[in-house]
Each structure stands twice: as structure tokens, then as C-alpha cells.
Amino acid sequence: MGQLRSAALYCRVSTGDQSCERQARDLRAFAARSGFEIVAVFKETASGSVNARNERAKVVHLARDRRIEAVLVTELTRWGRSTTDLLHTLQELETYGVSLIAQTGLQFDLRSPQGKLFASLMSALAEFERDLLRERIRSGIAAAQERGVKFGRQKGQRVKADRYEARVVNLRTAGKSYRAIAHELHLSKNTVMDIVHRVDQRQMKALD
């Protein structure tokens, strides 16, 4: 008999009135039949829409530390929150050389031809998803620009100067010099002069 492959069991139920015991029992029997040595068993209560999966994170940590070769679940829906989440986590496990094997349904066993094919498909799908995201961002920016929305700092916009304008004017009105104002507000003398000049111009236009 060959060497047993190390595996972690992951069990999840959606509500507190459910129990992980049946999943754990079925997975122990599955591991014994399939030649896996159980390293750890993780049980979690979380609905499919909940992002936080603390116990699942511990499984991934074992995979990252190369302490397991496979993760066993009763079905893939126990592991993934959504198709996208399943895709991302499978890809992460694949980088560590760890298989995700479901007792029923698809098995992402990286030692099998089927598992290697799925790994290649996952990489292609992940790249496709990134391309779609980039395209949506570009399309969104283009549509916004057509509506007149401007991005980035606009010509003539002085974010820092505008923020200090009221304080500069008050200090200047109090009789302080440009140099003293610059020192007090940690600005350059030129910035202070520019602020005062722009305020003066606005006031002159208002009087015209």
C-alpha cells in the first residue's frame, strides 16, 4: 500500500441549528477509502452569503505551510461562497499544490489528468475575469467622460491653496507678512503670495 496523502476535512453548515457531524463522519469514511491521512478537521457555521470564513482560512493556512496535500469536502458548495469565490480559492490552493476533492461531484485533484485540466481552465477563467473587469472600468470611464465628468486634478485647481485660503486671508488682514504666514502655516512664501493675489483679483472683479 502506498503512502497516505495528508488531508484536511472541511465541514460547513448554514445555520446554528444544523450540525457538521454528518459531514465529518462521511468525510472520515471517504478519506479511509481513498487513501488519505486526516491532519485536521475544521467545522464552520456560515451561510453562503457570509464573507468571513475563519475556519476555511485555517485550512488555507495549512495549505500555504505545505502541511496538507488535499482538502476534502462533501460537495463544492460547502467550500465556495459563489462561483467567483470558488474560482479564486481553487486557484490559490493550486499554487500550493493542494487539491480540493469533493466526495460527490467534481474533484479538483491535481494528481489526476482531470484535475490538471481544471487547473488550466481556472487560470484561463481568472485571466478572462480580470480582462472583463479592466474593460468594465475603461467603459465606465469613457461613459462618464461623455457625460462631461472630468477625472484627476483639473487645470487651475489648487487643492492645497484652496484649503489654506481662509487662514491666509485672516492672517494677512491681521497685518502679518508673507514670510510670517508661510512660516506659521508651513507653506512656501510663493504659495501665500499666490493665494493673496487670487483673492485680491476676485474682490476687484466683484467691484467691477
**Residues marked as catalytic:** 14
Nearest CA to 58 out of 81, 77, 42 is that of: 42
CA 169 – CA 21 distance, rounded (Å): 72
CA 115 – CA 136 distance, rounded (Å): 31
User: What string of DSSP letters covers 158-208?
Assistant: -HHHHHHHHHHHHHHHTT--HHHHHHHHT--HHHHHHHHHHHHHHHHHHH-
CB-based burial label for 113 (10 Å; 0-12, 13-18, 19+): exposed
Angle at 13 between CA 91 and CA 18, to 5 degrees: 175
